[in-house]
Chain A
Amino acid sequence: MSDQSQSPGYAEAGRAEGSAVPAGSPGGVAPLIDESATYALRVNGRGEAVKAAWLGESLLYVLRERLGLAGSKNACEQGECGSCSVFVDGTLVCACCVLAADAVDADIVTVEGLAQGEALSDVQRCFVDEGAVQCGFCTPGLIVAVTDLLDRCPHAGDMEVREAISGNLCRCTGYGRIFAAVDAVRRRREARA
């Protein structure tokens, strides 16, 4: 028995016994990068030109690797973990599941756009003070998701909070201090109101 496995997924690979060389292999493909492919994104209020890109790049990749905005994280890149949460036209999305070239003309806001210069937003401040940050890899996505929730639903109850952030996986904290941070933001905003 013999095969020359080419399948991308290790889990699936090996079933494709004797599979053919995939499209995209040498011998007749156009170069990946189209030097003329240029488009513009609007991120955190600034226009950003994306030049000579592969049009298959996700918004997450372009933010991180082309625009220098590495705050949005790459924990799963299939929309399961929420660590790349950003706003696209005010809607909370996973940047890994959006094609960058499809986000032209949209207003994109990332975690880097939430602080006012050196001043942290109340959500950011409470995450630091309440011990909601450990390794910090899930943190930017959670900051964006909690910002979204409390802006939309200032009086969200505990179960609503849990549901709203259940798409943001955290492996360090067990969420306890994250709930405490969300509580602290709600208390601050209520005290101010």
Chain B
Amino acid sequence: MTVRALAAPAPPTPAAPTPTPAPPTPAAPGRPQLEATPGRVGESARRPDGIPKVKGQFAFSSDLWADGMLWGRTLRSPHPAARIRAVDTTAAARIPGVRAVLTAGDVPGKPCYGLEHADQPVFAGDVIRYQGEAVAAVAADHPEIAWRAAQAIAVDYEPHEPLTDAEAAITAPPIHPDGNVFRHLTITRGDPDATGDVTVEGTYEVGMQDQAFLGPESGMAIPSDDGGVELFISTQWLHVDRDQVAACLGLPVDRVRLTLAGVGGAFGAREDVSLQVHVCLLALKTGRPVKMVYSREESFFGHVHRHPARMSYRHTATRDGELVKVEARLLLDGGAYASSSTAVIANAACFAAGPYRVPNAVVDGWVVRTNNPPCGAMRGFGAVQACFGHESQMDKLAAALGVDPVELRLRNALRGGDELITGQRLTGTAPAREVIEAAAAHPLPPPPDPDADPMALPGGAGLTAERADVRRGVGFAVGFKNLMYSEGFDDYSTASVRLEEGPDGRPLATVHCAAAEVGQGFVTLAQQIVRSELGVERVVLRAADTQVGSAGSTSASRQTWMSGGAVQAACVAARDALLRRVAQARGVDFQGARRQLLTLRDGEVVHVEGVFRVPLVEALGGRPVEEVREYRHAPTLPLDDRGQGDAHVSYAFAAHRAVVDVDPELGLVRVVQIATGQDVGRALNPLQVTGQIEGGIAQGLGLAVMEEIVVTDGRVRNPSFTDYLIPTALDMPEVLATLIEQPEPGAPFGAKGVGEPPTISSTPAVVAAIRAATGLPLTRVPVSPEDIALARP
């Protein structure tokens, strides 16, 4: 095991060549190519898109521009539940500059789409199931005209009482032909009647969090000569978008071509279709390029959110602090449409007991349909909600037993070879103890300094806190989560690698992979892998598009493993093809063990017995080598009716320790420090791993103390960055991180995905620290100032 502290990132790589500039802006949609900076696997290589991004020249999906383009705009329902009696578009269509007005009757193909179940209408035809549901779309010469035209569409609604209570939804009359229960899942492990010495119970709630990526939903559709359409779009999975779009357009998939446009963050919110079908319909209807860009307000209505949860737990343990049994009932509110709800509840249930040895478990998981905003994927995907429950319980249990909360966690932590509550044995690395020890080992911050800047107190710039009243608390939490897709899904990624003589006479490698770069740095990693595998310094990435096979989704912490694996496999195949070519040219036997005689080393094909060395470009002989490979992880199985089965591939663990200062009178919290230990397998780019850890912790902190979409009677009260607060530079504390590097067997380069674990246990750690500072039970996140200031002990 190696442990790498993150305090000092590696020094910058020497003078990087300037990348090919991104398309000039206003950007004609095109295929930007990203060129290399030096750096191999394990080094902190710099992003190939970093320079265009700092110069403002990187083309995001909202920056696209084309001659003669129109602007699209959606009309959305103001009601969470209603019947549509009539839609009259006459007035809108008459406005000068309006080129098309579309409603449900204008959808030529499948009327509904959805990630796992196609239950969401492209446009609501007769029933409105959530506030913000799309009813119509407009294309016009100017965005202001499009907006005015959308407002001029007369919709005759008959509103009715929305179904907003998730518990009631289980038995309420269905609000959709597919019913109200998306999935009910039970896990039964061991003896449900097992007893112990100590029992603690609790009910916990998680509010609705928004991904709040900075780049709003946007894209451009351009009709093509074959009657199809080309879509430039920010998304997490091009191919699944393509399939859904083509079905709704009534076109074969080969006439719908998608290219990834610059993505301004994702975090799960771009897994589902938002404007994709609308913008393509408008382009096909008008025969012109159409651009759509959501406003921030529309963005809050245009994508799914993190499921709110209500969770009841009972933990039973021996007096020595060994867990005997965990019982949990988890209820997630999926909102109006299915999205990925069925997979989110599976994760919440599978990880409901936390990263502990639990011989007996009963988990009852529900996810239901209501008239609340649709919920789906967000970083951590079900494990976040469960972690707040199980970690709150572990603290309660520690208090009941009179043991240290960290010690209780260490005593029960999973180890390699243990079985999960699903009966699956941990065959890979499982450094649960190590992440706990690493997080706990970081130095605590110094006690509050009486002379410190008052800006550093809770309340910050408001200067509201009295220093003498501020109380400090420390809290701890651990979590884990599956990597990649589960439950038998055929999860794969495709990559092509082409090796040729570049225009400058040097070897050049070109990677084509549809993996969505959403900010995480896969583009950097792909280059690092090619340099390591082929020894070629110049590596160009073609734009991600649907002209190559699917790479699967940039989700579930899976692209480093899956698309990293595909790029590596394509490199190996390209190298083999090159060596075979040289063997043929030189009359070398290249069968069986004789293959080992030739190798690619430092830009040369080398005969290991010293017979010859051929520079790579000469070895190519004027013809490129190009290989395409699909990479699959080890297969998984569905869960059986007792929730048992080898449903997952691999797991990543993380622990967090939070230190907070609280002003109890105003209920204001300042997070002072977060220390973490994280299981990364192997850090392929330590600087990028650091960025994922710090960024993930920020989102966990946000859920702990600030972030919630407030929904009243099915209506969103705060769809703006004025009212939905995300952490600023003043809210983020010092982060101390230790990477636990235990290479994962079976993973390309031994690396585990790193994006989600920072978001899972950081939230309960912060809340535990607030509890420690205040003595309050705090069973709901986000913890609001009222929860502290108005609490009656």
Binding site for B on A (CB under 8 A): 1-11, 13-14, 21-22, 24-27, 31-33, 54, 56, 61, 64-65, 68-78, 80-81, 83, 110-112, 114-115, 118, 120, 124-125, 127-131, 133-140, 143, 159, 161-163, 165-180
Of B298, B456, B521, the residue contacting A159 (CB under 8 A) is B456
Contacts of A127 on B, CB cut-off 8 Å? 50, 54
Give the docked Cα–Cα distance between A14 and B717 (Å): 13
Q: Which of B755-789 contact A (CB under 8 A)?
A: none
B18, B262, B699, B732: which has the most chain A beta carbons within 10 Å? B732
Tell me how far the C-beta of A177 lies from the nearest C-beta in chain B, rounded to whole angstroms. 6
Q: For the complex, what is the distance from the CA of A139 to the CA of B716, rounded to whole Å? A: 29
Alpha-carbon gap, A70 to B687, bound state (A): 28
Q: Is the CB of A137 within 8 A of B95?
A: no
B1 at the interface (CB under 8 A from A): no
Number of A-B residue pairs at CB separation under 8 A: 277
In the complex, A110→B542 CA distance in Å?
Answer: 29
CA distance A193 to B131 in the complex (A): 58
Closest to A170 in B: B214
> Which stretch, B19-27, B119-127, B498-506, touches the partner chain A?
B19-27
Residues of B close to A176: CB separation below 8 A: 690-691, 694, 732, 735
Q: Which of B408-416, B530-538, B719-727 contacts its partner?
A: B719-727
> Which of the listed residues B132, B156, B214 has the most CB atoms from chain A within 10 Å of its own CB?
B214
- Size class of B's contact patch? 35 or more
Q: Give A22 Cβ to nearest chain B Cβ, in Å.
A: 6
Q: Is the CB of B214 within 8 A of A73?
A: yes
Q: Are A65 and B26 in contact (CB under 8 A)?
A: yes
- Mask: chain B, 698-734; 1 = CB below 8 Å from A; 0 = not: 1100000000000000011111111000111110100
Q: Could you tell me the distance in whole angstroms from the C-beta of B693 to the nearest C-beta in chain A? A: 8
Query: Could you tell me if B297 and A177 are in contact, using CB atoms closer than 8 angstroms?
Result: no
A72 and B152 form a contact (CB under 8 A): no
Contact A26 B158 (CB under 8 A): no
Residues of A within 8 A of B596 (CB): none
Which of A33, A110, A129, A159 contacts B453, CB < 8 Å? Answer: A159
Residues in B whose Cβ lies below 8 Å from that of A73: 60, 62, 214-215, 264
Q: How far is the CA of A64 from the CA of B25 in the complex (A)?
A: 8
Q: Is the CB of B54 within 8 A of A77?
A: no
| Residue of A32, A77, A137, A168 most packed against chain B (CB within 10 A) | A137
Residues of B whose CB lies within 8 Å of any CB of A are 9, 12, 18, 24-27, 44, 46-47, 49-51, 53-60, 62-63, 65, 76-79, 85, 91-92, 94-97, 131-132, 141-145, 147-148, 151-152, 154-159, 211-216, 262-267, 293, 295-298, 301, 453, 455-456, 461, 518-521, 687-688, 690-691, 693-699, 715-722, 726-730, 732, 735
Q: How far is the CB of A11 from chain B (nearest CB, A)?
A: 5
A174–B95 contact, CB under 8 A? no
Nearest Cβ on chain A to B289's Cβ, whole angstroms: 14
Chain B residues lying within 8 Å of A130, measured Cβ to Cβ, are 9
Complex Cα distance, B735 from A106, in Å, reads 42
Given contacts A70-B25, A159-B455, 19 further A-B contacts (CB under 8 A): A5-B155, A7-B151, A11-B718, A14-B159, A22-B148, A31-B96, A32-B97, A33-B97, A110-B56, A118-B18, A124-B55, A133-B53, A136-B53, A139-B54, A163-B455, A171-B214, A173-B698, A174-B732, A175-B729
B265 touching A171 by the CB < 8 A rule?
A: yes
**B698 neighbours in A (Cβ, 8 Å):** 171, 173-175
A65 vs B461: C-alpha distance in the bound complex, in angstroms? 37
One of A33, A112, A174, A179 near B56 (C-beta < 8 A): A112
12 contacts between A and B (CB under 8 A): A25-B91, A26-B91, A33-B142, A65-B26, A120-B55, A140-B53, A159-B456, A163-B730, A169-B721, A169-B728, A171-B726, A174-B691
A75-B216, A78-B722 given as contacts; is B44 within 8 A of A131 (CB)? yes
Main secondary structure of the interface of A (DSSP, over half): loop
Contact B730 A166 (CB under 8 A): yes
**A26–chain B nearest beta-carbon distance, Å:** 5
Given contacts A32-B144, A81-B721, A115-B55, contact A136 B735 (CB under 8 A): no
Q: Establish whether residues A136 and B58, one from each chain, have CB atoms under 8 Å apart when the complex forms.
A: yes
Q: Which of B9, B145, B158 is the one whose CB lies under 8 Å from A2?
A: B158
CA A114 to CA B695, docked complex, whole Å: 27
Kindly list chain B residues whose C-beta atoms are within 8 Å of the C-beta of A179.
729
Contact call B95/A25, Cβ cutoff below 8 A: yes
CB-CB under 8 A from A33, the residues of chain B are: 97, 141-142
In angstroms, Cα B52 to Cα A124, docked, is: 10
Closest to B266 in A: A135
B152 touches A69 (CB 8 A): no
- Distance to closest chain B CB from A45 (angstroms): 16
Contact (Cβ within 8 A) B49 A136: yes
Q: How far is the CA of A20 from the CA of B720 in the complex (A)?
A: 26
